[in-house]
Structure 1
């Protein structure tokens, strides 16, 4: 059992917390609104606690479950409190009508977060290609991830496996741009070719 800190109080934060608790982890829920963080922790039950926004998170892995617009400001606000942490960025930086990414060509939300993070912190892109409502405990899903630090990726991969999911390493953090594009593609598929969000994206080996 290990400690996982989740910054954010939305549906994805809750889904990841539920899956982490089912995987045997202790989960720290952190939000700007302490009361809402306490309410979510209480609703999650045994193993979940509420943390204080802006202080050093308990977990060695910190999941940044906030909007793209809020991600860099949150990391900047935390500053050295995130030193030596593994930061999982789950954001999808899509424009309001979900027809494109808002990040400039050649970069990604994850890379922007890495630039804002303190020395010793390592950013890994993960979970942005999994819709929150399909993360229900018991479902076997693929989680695509990318990052520059091998130890950080190994830590995230072990965490993903502990949730009963399969981690798939897509390469260095420069690949986060393409993972974020994949997130956009999934939203477009949900709105057009598939017609709903009740699906997942995975990899099947042939032969």
Structure 2
């Protein structure tokens, strides 16, 4: 099992934290509001702890569960405290009305985050193609992920499996833009063809 630190106190952080505890992982939750972090740790149970925002995270895997607009500033604030860590970026980069991505052509939120982390840290994009409330419901789901470092990806894949989910390697970090585009597509499907957000995206393997 893994040692996980989650930066963020929202719904996705809570959903990943709960499944991580159920999967036998050690979980630290971190937020700017120390009282809320302690409350979330208590709600998760299972030995979850509350860390100090800006201090070196306990976990080898650091789930960055904050909106993309705040992701790079958070990374900058942590600085060398993230050296040697695997940073899992779960953000989506859609604009306010979910008609496009806020990142320039040819890059992604995950790649911008990768530019900001210490050289010894590695960024893996994951979980952005699963709605937080669906993740919280439990049950098997597919989690698409992308990254450039094989060891970091193996660690993330094992963590995903510990949550009772199926990890699907989508390739290098350059694919993160298309994973973020998939997140945008899911929002559009929810608003149009599906008509609600109560669905998941997965890969069917015939036969």
The equivalent of 1:206 in structure 2 is: 206
**Partner SS, residue 175 of structure 1:** helix
8 Å CA contact 2:54, 2:77 repeated in 1: yes
Q: Quote how far apart the aligned CAs of 1:26 are.
A: 1.3
Residues 129-160 of structure 1 deviation map (CA, whole Å, 9 limit, x = unaligned): 00111113641000000000000000000000
Would you say 1:177 and 2:177 are equivalent positions? yes
Q: Is the 8 A contact 2:2 2:61 kept in 1?
A: no
- Give 1:32's aligned residue: 32
Task: Write out per-residue CA displacement over residues 153-172 of structure 1, whole angstroms, 9 at most, x where no aligned residue.
Answer: 00000000111100000000
Q: Report the equivalent of 2:109.
A: 109
Equivalent residues of 1:18, 1:137 under 8 A apart? no
Q: Distance in 1 between matches of 2:149 and 2:85?
A: 12
| 1:2 Cα deviation after fit | 2.8
Paired with 1:179 and 1:47, the residues of 2 have a C-alpha distance of 33
Question: Which residue of 2 is the match for residue 158 of structure 1?
Answer: 158
Q: Distance in 1 between matches of 2:137 and 2:18?
A: 7
3-state SS in 2 of match to 1:14: helix
Instruction: State whether structure 2 residue 118 is matched by structure 1 residue 124.
Output: no
CA contact (8 A) 1:54 1:77 kept: yes
- TM-score normalised over the length of structure 2: 0.98
Consecutive unaligned residues in structure 2, runs of 5 or more: none
Scaled by the length of structure 1, what TM-score is found? 0.98
**1:1-207 map, 5 Å:** 1-136=1-136, 138-207=138-207
Uncovered stretches (5+) of structure 1, i.e. residues with no partner = none
Verify the 8 A CA contact 2:111 2:173 in the aligned structure 1: yes
- What SS does structure 2 have at the residue aligned with 1:143? strand
Distance 1:206 1:45 in 2: 39
